Amino acid sequence: MNATDQSYRYIVIEGPIGVGKTTLTRRVAESLGGELLLEAAEENPFLERFYENPRHAALPTQLHFLFQRVRQLEPLNQADLFRPLCIADFLLEKDRLFAHLNLDEHERELYDQIWATLSPRAPAPDLVVYLQAPVPVLMERIARRARPCESRLDGDYLERLSAAYLDFFHHYSGAPVLIVNAAEANFERSDADYTALLQEIADRPRGRRYFNPLPVTLS
């Protein structure tokens, strides 16, 4: 599979905070000659406040992300046969996952009204790559990248977030899903892990497919 492969138009790489989705998105886009579409979390003026006090800043944080994601995905809704392959590190529907995880009952009602009014849409991805890893792995990776605002994330929140992702993709039917065990794999530095995953993507999985990179054993 290479930059001349036209079988994909839109691939999304998803997963909880710290699992490595943005790093992998960048590498896949480079390999396939696709355009990057990345979450711009650093542009959300409420995010740091959310990490400091989730209860008080959850609603503006989530609404900013919603409007931002709608704007980012708007070009993909144009019927352009010559639009290049797009590789994104977020799925529009996951905005509601975070909203229902972080907002209280009345805030969720308001959020759902805004969602219904906006009627946000994006084309269905040709493939969603869903990265999974246990919470201790997520916490270790978050600590290693040392982003100051993320230092406030605790294991309980990541447990609830991981469970929300698991439930979301259990019911998700909007596109084929490649479910990847990313706990031991290093898609950034291990060419073997990355090449194996790229081959799984090239095989164009249908429905749900599970991919567990096998450790290399020396005989």
Give tens-digit pLDDT for 108-161: 999 999 999 999 988 899 999 999 999 999 999 998 887 777 778 888 999 999
What's the pLDDT at 147?
A: 78
What's the pLDDT at 79?
A: 63
Give the whole-angstrom CA distance, residue 25 versus residue 49.
27
136-147 b/e with 16+ CB inside 10 Å = b? ebbbebbeeeee
Strands 208-211 and 177-181, how do they pair?
parallel
> Crossing angle for the helix pair 105-118 and 94-102, nearest 10 degrees?
160
What's the pLDDT at 6?
A: 53
Judging by beta carbons within 10 Å of its beta carbon (0-12, 13-18, 19+), is residue 157 exposed, middle or buried? middle
CATH class of the domain defined by 10-211: alpha beta
Given a cut of 60, is residue 35 above it in pLDDT? yes
Q: Which residues contact 150 (CB under 8 A, 6 or more apart)?
A: 17, 18, 51, 142
- Write down the H helix ranges in 47-179: 47-52, 54-73, 94-102, 105-118, 135-145, 155-171
Q: Residue 128 — φ and ψ, nearest 5°?
A: -115, 125
Give the whole-angstrom CA distance, residue 103 versus residue 181.
29
What's the pLDDT at 82?
A: 66
Sign of the four-CA dihedral 3, 192, 176, 72? negative
Quick: pLDDT tens for 189-212.
889 999 999 999 999 999 999 999
Do 10 and 210 form a contact (C-beta atoms < 8 A)? no
What's the pLDDT at 219?
A: 40
Q: Which residues contact 74 (CB under 8 A, 6 or more apart)?
A: none
Known catalytic residue at 89: yes
Q: What is the mean pLDDT of the chain?
A: 90
Do 141 and 19 form a contact (C-beta atoms < 8 A)? yes
Given a cut of 60, is residue 78 above it in pLDDT? yes
End-to-end CA distance of the chain: 30
Q: Residue 154 — φ and ψ, nearest 5°?
A: -115, 170
User: What is the phi-psi region of residue 162: left when phi exceeds 0, alpha when psi lies from -120 to 50, beta otherwise?
Assistant: alpha
Q: Which of 5, 80, 89, 154 is catalytic?
A: 89
Tokens encoding 209: 């497919």
**When comparing pLDDT for 3 and 93, which is higher?**
93
